[in-house]
Every structure is written in structure tokens, then in C-alpha cells.
Amino acid sequence: MTTPSSAVGPTALPTRTLGSGDHALTVSALGFGGMSVADSYGPADAAEAEAVLRRTLELGVTLIDTADVYGAGRNEELIGRVLGPQRDRIVLASKFGLGKHPDGRPVDGRPEYLRAAVDRSLARLGTDRLDLYYLHRVDPQVPVEETVGALAELVAAGKVRAIGLSEAGADTVRRAHAVHPVTAVQSEYSLWTRDPEDAVLPALRELGIGFVPFSPLGRGILTGTVDRVTDLAADDVRRKHARYAGEAFEHNRALVLALEDLAAERGVTAAQLALAWLLAQGDDVVPIPGTKRLRYLEQNVEAASIVLSADDLAAIAAAVPRGAVQGVRHPQADLLEA
């Protein structure tokens, strides 16, 4: 295994391509998930959150991911304020549709809704365009063809460069792609969650669509820094997750300890080993780890220079076998497509 240098300075990360043809996007091999600096995993220090965002650019990260629901729009405002002066250096992605809506629906994919949503996001981000705009969850009340048709109108209008779907199943992706090329699909994927390997990833590769794993560190547990659930802040969203509850957490923590042992043998962190494993799953895979700590950001970026051997990959698979994790992966399981 080739390990990274311990010194992290201004650099150029290797790049990967999301999508194909006229709607392809060239991005850094690792992106940055903005949710972590939106108080979703406990309070974030405002000054350090801004420092983390600035440092992402210094480290060569170009794909910056946010959503209108993160912090009820405050995350978009933060990213717009901090990174706005460097707008042309980043590939800016946001999402719409997930949240509490006036009619009670948990997701809104109606064309009239997204037309208003994109303008609100653009205003908060302080930009005239989004490079990648995702439907955050598929709306079961609206045919995906209608939503994607409206997204295609935004592309034609210049407000959006490319479109994406989040947590969409293979059949939905095919239907959407038939209306307008889909550049990327975003879903949870890591050693902790392997579901996309069944149908979604094969479909994306058949269609030439990129894959953007969110929560690539298992919502933090693969970092090896979560020893007890009681250590999490009272408002940390993970307290609502079955994988962090009771006996399931104890079982899952044991898997992480095995990963930590492998990482220690190789002179890297468990998080770096988990990210390197994910990057090794294909050149069309662009994980977006998030953090609110500078030291973790730098460690995450170093993972892009780790090269795993076949023996390394086999050892990781043995330490964290597919299907070994206990508990459903998300409390909103009814909004996730297979």
C-alpha cells in the first residue's frame, strides 16, 4: 500500500469525471459535503467552519456540495459568503425538494416548486448558476419525468449546468436519463452501507453517469472517533439512527475496531483507509466527506493519495464484510429507493 505524505499543503488533487458528453463535469477525486458545517452533527464553530471551507480550496478540492435544507438555507449562505470570491474555482452543487412543505409532503418535486427553489438557492449562494443541481429525494407524487423536464428547462436557461438525483433507484435513474442526461447520482455508500452495488452502480455505469457517495465515513463512525453514543451532542442527528442505538451500536463499533487495527498496521487512520477503499471502487466514484475540523479535512484529502493493493482490499473486506452492519441505515427509509 502506498501511503500519503504527512505534510499537507496547497496541492492539486487528482481529478475524475462525473457524467459524459456535453453535461460531464471534471471535479477533484474527493469533494466536500457541506452538511457537517450546518450544525447537523452538533454545534459547529463558525470561525472554524469558515476556515475549513477556505482550506478545501487550498487543498485542491473543487466539488462543493450543499442543499437548501441544510440549516434551513444557512449552509448555502455560508458557502456563498466564504467561497463566493472563488466561484470560478469550484464546481458548486446543491439540492432541492427535501424538507417540510406547506402541504405536509416530505418531498416536493413539482416543477413549480423547483423553479422557485433554484432562485432561492442562487440568491443564498450569491451566484447566477449551479454547476450541479440534484433532486434531493424522489417525490412519489410526481413522475420523475416531470421533475427532470423542469430541470432541463433550468439547464436551457443557464441557471444549471448539469442535473443529478439523490437516493434514486436504478429504474428511476433510467426514466430520468431518458428525458435529459443525468450527470451524477448521489447516495449513501461506504464500507458501512453497500446497497448501491446491487443495482444502482451497474445502471450508472451502463448509462455513463457518475456516482457521488455521501456519508462515505458512515456518518462518522468509520473515523474511529465515536466510542459512545452518549458522547454525541444532544441535537446530533445520529441519535435518531438505528445503527447508533443500543446493541446495534456495540456490534457495529466492533467492526470499526477491526478497521482501526488494519489502518494502524498501515500507518494511516481508519477514515483514510475507508476513503481509500471507496476511491478504489471505480474512477467514476467521487466521495464527498464532510467535517467541521481542519485536521480531519486534511487527513481526508490525504486519503486520495493512498493506493491499495489487492491484499489490502481483501483485508478490508474481511474486517468489515458486506451485510455485517446492524440496523437500518436511515430513519427516513421510506424515502429511499432501492
CB 114 within 8 A of CB 97: yes
Phi, psi of 28 (to 5 degrees): -65, 150
Task: Specify the DSSP element, H or E, that contains 114.
Answer: helix 111-125
CB 70 within 8 A of CB 35: yes
In angstroms, the Cα distances linking 21 to 86, 89, 173, 182, 236 are 26, 21, 17, 11, 40
Residues recognised as catalytic: 70
Residue whose entry in the numeric block shows the C-alpha cell 463566493: 84
- Burial code of 55-85, b = ≥16 C-beta within 10 A, e = fewer? bbbebbbbbbbbbbbbbebebbbbbbebbee
